[in-house]
């Protein structure tokens, strides 16, 4: 039983034939070749598979691909513009938030959504948002510093901000 | 996951017609956070999956006649952030905020949680303590059921195969009422509760005596567990440590927890008493404030 879905991923329209049981993460990775999104626990706990659906972080391992029909999806591949990294990505490099790389795409995508909603989050707010993104290298403080750094740079850029 | 036919109707009538025709072989899916895992693990293998994602009209919070009506498709995140909820029934916003992580709260719905009927969930406990009722609709008609009478066993409710849970009605708290939900989490913040307790206490302002109270626990039985015997102990009484200890030992007698990764049965029974004591005291303080 296959169905046709139309979804916008990182600004690009796609029409995909999917079996009813296709998960969104598999659709992104195997149908669209976007392997930046990682699968960790497969039960919505670890956060590695976080993507944005209509701007909100969700677990793509808990969503059927059919849920994405008519929706806008943003994955980690959708953050950088041409040769320029998104501010959150750059901060993860500069502040040491980038570690082995498995949790990073989910971390970066969640942090991006946080800063879009709240440009000046407190440490507690950062912790609340990032609570569901697990890192087994145990480096949460660097992640918090990275997000604070990205937020600071975004505020300093002010009106000249291009979203990067 | 087994293959299934997927339907995504945009009217309630179509959903009910599909349930009428395929109810026994169909599952309703809303946020999917619980159901997708059960599908993936082949705990359920429906022939039809009826999605509510294109349905409109069940995703708002409305004031109706001394109550708030929550559409079944309101998300946990909506409940947590809704100004109406925060203002009128803040304990509901507090409860939904404690569920899992933001990602889950963006997907999971008010109605989905109730229909899923996992006794370790948070919101059913608070909703029951607030005397909520659920609206169930089928192509044959509608009925309202008190949440007290909705859950029947682990993952089982009175919902019939052709029925859809459409809304939850929560009466606005009476004056001089304090309510709280305490979630006991010895492992991680995003976990299911080892024990969850909701208490609601209405006091007589002049005497400060308890007029009425409700005590409901999660994680200690096959359904959310309300203990009327303990509630009766409190009515007409003044807040005192001995009273709370007595109520705690009564609730402990009613618990029937299972040992699992969140704690042994004995530990959960013990903590149920501790949490009930704390919840009653804090609810009482809120009623006095």
Kindly list the domain boundaries of chain A, sorted by start residue: 2-78, 87-156
A45 chain-B contacts, CB cut-off 8 A:
190
Question: B70 and B160 share a domain?
Answer: yes
Separation in Å, CA of A14 to nearest CA in chain B: 20
B2/A contact by beta carbon, under 8 A = yes
Q: Give the neighbor-by-neighbor strand order of the sheet with B26-29.
A: B5-7, B48-51, B26-29
pLDDT value at position A160? 60
| A-B C-beta contacts closer than 8 Å | 77
pLDDT value at position A161? 55
Q: Beta B26-29 vs B48-51: how paired, if at all?
A: parallel
B37 chain-A contacts, CB cut-off 8 A:
43-44, 62
* Chain B residue with Cα closest to A63: B32
B49 chain-A contacts, CB cut-off 8 A:
20
pLDDT tens, chain B, 289 aa long: 999 999 999 999 999 999 999 999 999 999 999 999 999 999 999 999 999 999 999 999 999 999 999 999 999 999 999 999 999 999 999 999 999 999 999 999 999 999 999 999 999 999 999 999 999 999 999 999 999 999 999 999 999 999 999 999 999 999 999 999 999 999 888 999 999 999 999 999 999 999 999 999 999 999 999 999 999 999 999 999 999 999 999 999 999 999 999 999 999 999 999 999 999 999 999 999 8
Chain A interface, best mutation among B100, B102, B118, B188, by max A CB count within 10 A: B102
What mean pLDDT is reported for chain A?
Answer: 94
Residue B82, in any domain of the structure: yes
- Helix, strand or coil for residue B69? strand
Question: B165 and B185 share a domain?
Answer: no
A37 chain-B contacts, CB cut-off 8 A:
none
A62 chain-B contacts, CB cut-off 8 A:
32-33, 36-37, 104, 107
Cβ–Cβ below 8 Å for B4 and A66: no
* Chain A residue with Cα closest to B48: A20
* Chain B residue with Cα closest to A19: B3
A107 with A135: CB under 8 angstroms? yes
Cβ-based burial of B24 (10 A; exposed 0-12, middle 13-18, buried ≥19): exposed
**Half-sphere exposure of residue B256: CA atoms within 13 angstroms, side-chain side:** 11
Tokens of A72: 């806008």
A2-78 maps to which CATH number?
Answer: 3.10.20.30
A81 with A46: CB under 8 angstroms? no
pLDDT value at position A90? 96
Cβ–Cβ below 8 Å for B106 and A57: yes
* Chain A residue with Cα closest to B6: A20
Question: B69 and B155 share a domain?
Answer: yes
pLDDT value at position A99? 84
Question: Angle CA(B201)–CA(B131)–CA(B151) in degrees, nearest 5?
Answer: 125
pLDDT value at position A18? 98
Residue B115, in any domain of the structure: yes
pLDDT band at A138 (very low <50, low <70, confident <90, very high): confident
Question: Angle CA(B204)–CA(B209)–CA(B212) in degrees, nearest 5?
Answer: 75
Domain that holds residue B71: 61-171
Question: B217 and B139 share a domain?
Answer: no
DSSP 8-class letter at A66: G
pLDDT value at position A164? 55
**Half-sphere exposure of residue B44: CA atoms within 13 angstroms, side-chain side:** 19
Question: B184 and B101 share a domain?
Answer: no
Question: B89 and B151 share a domain?
Answer: yes
Tokens of A49: 């598979």
Stretch A29-38: mean pLDDT, rounded? 98
Q: Which residues pair with B63 in a beta bridge?
A: B68
User: What's the rounded Cα separation, in Å, for the pair B217 and B273?
Assistant: 10
B32/A contact by beta carbon, under 8 A = yes
Please give the tally of structural domains in chain B: 3
Cβ–Cβ below 8 Å for A44 and B77: no
Q: Residue A129 CA to chain centroid, in angstroms? A: 12
Per DSSP, chain B holds a count of helices (H) and strands (E) of 11, 14
Stretch A119-129: mean pLDDT, rounded? 96
Question: B135 and B227 share a domain?
Answer: no
Task: Please report the beta strands in B83-147, taking only residues with DSSP state E, as ranges in sequence order.
Answer: 133-138, 141-146
- Return left, alpha or beta for B117; rule: phi > 0 is left, psi -120 to 50 is alpha, else beta: left
Separation in Å, CA of B77 to nearest CA in chain A: 10
B5 chain-A contacts, CB cut-off 8 A:
1, 20
pLDDT at A2 over 70: yes
Chain A interface, best mutation among B73, B94, B103, by max A CB count within 10 A: B103
Question: B71 and B45 share a domain?
Answer: no
Q: Residue B202 CA to chain centroid, in angstroms? A: 20
Separation in Å, CA of B14 to nearest CA in chain A: 19
B33/A contact by beta carbon, under 8 A = yes
Chain B interface, best mutation among A1, A68, A74, A132, by max B CB count within 10 A: A132
pLDDT value at position B22? 97
Domain CATH code at residue B32: 3.30.43.10
Closest to A44 (Cα-Cα) out of A27, A25, A22, A29:
A25
Q: Scanning the structure block, which residue is given the tokens 């022939």? A: B47
Question: B150 and B205 share a domain?
Answer: no
Tokens of B201: 């206490």
A1 chain-B contacts, CB cut-off 8 A:
3-6
pLDDT value at position A158? 75
* Closest by Cβ to A1, choosing from B4, B51, B53: B4
pLDDT value at position B227? 97
What homologous superfamily does CATH list for A87-156? [2Fe-2S]-binding domain (1.10.150.120)
Domain CATH code at residue B186: 3.30.390.50
* Closest by Cβ to B6, choosing from A23, A66, A132: A66
B2 with B45: CB under 8 angstroms? yes
pLDDT value at position A152? 96
Residues 107-166 of B with CB under 8 A from A: 107
pLDDT band at A162 (very low <50, low <70, confident <90, very high): low
Percent of chain A with pLDDT over 90: 86
User: What's the rounded Cα separation, in Å, for the pair B164 and B18?
Assistant: 11
B214 with B142: CB under 8 angstroms? no
- Return left, alpha or beta for A122; rule: phi > 0 is left, psi -120 to 50 is alpha, else beta: beta
User: What's the rounded Cα separation, in Å, for the pair B255 and B265?
Assistant: 9
Question: B89 and B72 share a domain?
Answer: yes
Question: B44 and B115 share a domain?
Answer: no
Question: B260 and B160 share a domain?
Answer: no
Residue B158, in any domain of the structure: yes
Residue B56, in any domain of the structure: no
Report how far apart the first and last C-alpha atoms of chain A are (Å, whole number).
Answer: 41
A125/B contact by beta carbon, under 8 A = no
User: What's the rounded Cα separation, in Å, for the pair B280 and B273?
Assistant: 11
pLDDT value at position A107? 97
pTM recorded for the entire structure: 0.96
Torsion of CA B42, B115, B74, B106, to 10 degrees: -30
């Amino acid at each position: 039983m296959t169905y046709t879905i139309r979804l916008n991923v990182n600004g690009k329209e796609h029409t995909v034939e999917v079996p009813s049981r296709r998960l969104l993460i598999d659709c992104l990775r195997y149908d669209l070749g976007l392997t930046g999104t990682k699968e960790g626990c497969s039960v919505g706990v670890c956060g590695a598979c976080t993507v944005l659906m209509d701007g909100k972080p969700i677990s793509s391992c808990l969503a059927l691909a059919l849920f994405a029909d008519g929706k806008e999806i943003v994955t980690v591949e959708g953050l950088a513009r041409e040769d320029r990294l998104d501010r959150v990505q750059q901060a993860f490099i500069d502040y040491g938030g980038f570690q082995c790389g498995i949790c990073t795409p989910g971390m970066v995508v969640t942090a991006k959504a946080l800063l879009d909603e709240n440009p000046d989050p407190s440490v507690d707010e950062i912790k609340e948002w990032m609570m569901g993104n697990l890192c087994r290298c145990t480096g949460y403080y660097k992640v918090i510093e990275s997000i604070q750094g990205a937020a600071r740079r975004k505020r300093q850029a002010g009106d000249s901000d291009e979203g990067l | 996951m087994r293959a299934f036919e997927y339907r995504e109707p945009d009217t309630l009538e179509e959903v009910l017609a599909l349930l009428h025709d395929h109810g026994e072989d169909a599952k309703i899916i809303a946020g999917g956070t619980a159901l997708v895992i059960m599908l993936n693990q082949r705990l359920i293998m429906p022939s039809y999956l009826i999605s509510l994602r294109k349905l409109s009209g069940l995703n708002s919070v409305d004031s109706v006649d001394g109550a708030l009506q929550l559409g079944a498709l309101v998300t946990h995140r909506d409940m947590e952030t809704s100004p109406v909820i925060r203002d009128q029934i803040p304990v509901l916003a507090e409860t939904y905020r404690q569920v899992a992580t933001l990602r889950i709260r963006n997907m999971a719905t008010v109605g989905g949680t109730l229909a899923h009927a996992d006794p370790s969930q948070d919101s059913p406990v608070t909703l029951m303590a607030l005397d909520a009722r659920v609206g169930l609709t089928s192509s044959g008609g509608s009925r309202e059921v008190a949440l007290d009478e909705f859950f029947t066993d682990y993952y089982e409710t009175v919902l019939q195969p052709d029925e859809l849970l459409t809304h939850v009605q929560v009466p606005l708290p009476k004056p001089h009422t304090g309510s709280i939900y305490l979630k006991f989490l010895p492992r991680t913040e995003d976990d299911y509760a080892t024990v969850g307790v909701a208490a609601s206490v209405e006091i007589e302002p002049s005497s400060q005596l308890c007029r009425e109270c409700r005590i409901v626990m999660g994680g200690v039985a096959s359904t959310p567990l309300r203990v009327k015997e303990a509630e009766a102990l409190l009515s007409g009484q003044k807040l005192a440590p001995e009273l709370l200890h007595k109520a705690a030992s009564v609730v402990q007698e009613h618990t029937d927890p299972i040992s699992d990764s969140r704690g042994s049965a004995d530990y959960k029974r013990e903590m149920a008493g501790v949490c009930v004591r704390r919840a009653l005291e804090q609810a009482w303080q809120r009623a006095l404030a």
